[in-house]
Amino acid sequence: MAAKPKRSASAKTSAGSALAPPAAKKPAVKLPPVDAKTLGQIVDLANRVADSAVKRRDPQLEIPARTLSNVRFNKARKIIEMGGQTNSRQLFNLSQAKSYMQTLLVATGCKALIDQQKSTSIRGLYYLLKHTIEGTREETFATQEECDPIIEDLE
């Protein structure tokens, strides 16, 4: 049997070992204004959560109240608009912890789609995010009906 030819050190480096230089990042792509605005809002949401943790405060999210008393008809635009009332979702409130986690999960999924310059339907986002939480038997979303309001809250 013939002996295998030895590789030189430079061949090992260029083959992708730990010594190889990291892959260059893709150049930033200019996002459409609506995507840039949405991405900014998602980053702001994440920063508020992180700031709460750094300040050792209970993290909470302010979500627009989806109630009849919080909508109004805009005659000029001929549409129904949300008002300024909000509801709070708190991480350390046992009855709100799951919806808090789901809200951040949806925000993460939306950010990933924007970063990839892709879009999907509400149903597609549900299937993208639905999984069993590692080390548990807990599903992120039991049904599409559980997921839809969370997605709508972040609209």
Is 127 among the residues known to form the active site? Answer: yes
Residues sharing a CB contact under 8 Å with residue 83, sequence separation 6 or more, in sequence order? 65, 69, 70, 71, 72
* Catalytic residue selected from 127, 144, 149, 152: 127
Q: Are strands 71-74 and 86-90 parallel, antiparallel or unpaired?
A: unpaired
Q: How far apart are CA 26 and CA 143, in angstroms?
A: 36
Residues with a catalytic annotation lie at 127
